[in-house]
Amino acid sequence: MAGEINGPQAEKKALRSEILAKRRALTAAYRQKASTRIIDVFCALPDFKEPRKVMCYASMADEVQILPLVQKWLEAGVTVTMPRVIRKGEMEAVTVPSLDALVEGEYGILTPDPAKCQVVAPEELDLIIVPGVAFDTRGERLGMGAGFYDAYMAKAIKAKRIALAYSCQLVSSVPMEEHDALVHKIITEQGIYNCLLG
């Protein structure tokens, strides 16, 4: 059939649908409790205390809620950045001076106010908190399919890449393509996974 998606793309699409459904099925109470646990575990690690320039994101409702982590970094004097879309498939890291500087951007996602932020070069970042739909313990990651993070992480050459995810997002294997970037570590409410990449 013309236009039919085969191979890794079809596998990714099927896995993305399956895991997003599982994540959306979590109750608000479970998400809150699990998010708090994940942030507490992460904040006890050197990975939280060592970096001086980090990139993270404003969570969507069904993702691990990481704005409390952002606040902790801001209070510690860490330079916090979030992504800003430049054009299709390309983004840049811009500073978040405070949580009050976040405004609603594309897709209803909070993003730094352009009037209050500055661009940070990818090679300056020490750590990236990487969003994703699914992960496996080798560090393989399935995102939303637009490729923004894979392209950006290829340029952030010294940044450690860590995922904060619910345990339902861990799978035995993620279909990968050559351009797909891996993560070094995954933290869920059930444990810490140091990946083969790390």
Closest alpha carbon to 184 in 173, 196, 192: 196
Place of tokens 């998010």: 35
Residue 185 is assigned to a ligand binding site: no
Residue 52 is assigned to a ligand binding site: no
Residue 16 is assigned to a ligand binding site: yes
Closest alpha carbon to 109 in 46, 66, 73, 165: 66
The dihedral through the CA atoms of 49, 52, 55, 57 has a sign that is positive
Residue 143 is assigned to a ligand binding site: yes
Residue 149 is assigned to a ligand binding site: yes
Residue 72 is assigned to a ligand binding site: no
Residue 176 is assigned to a ligand binding site: no
Q: 180 to each of 73, 143, 183, how far by Cα in Å?
A: 28, 9, 10
Residue 14 is assigned to a ligand binding site: yes
Residue 89 is assigned to a ligand binding site: no
Q: What are phi and psi of 131, to 5 degrees?
A: -75, 165
Residue 12 is assigned to a ligand binding site: yes
d(CA 89, CA 82): 16
Residue 29 is assigned to a ligand binding site: no
Q: 3-state class of 155 per DSSP?
A: helix
Residue 156 is assigned to a ligand binding site: no
d(CA 48, CA 145): 28
Residue 147 is assigned to a ligand binding site: yes
d(CA 46, CA 41): 11
Residue 3 is assigned to a ligand binding site: no
Residue 33 is assigned to a ligand binding site: no
Binding region for substrate: 63
Binding region for ATP: 12-16, 141-149
Binding region: 12-16, 63, 141-149
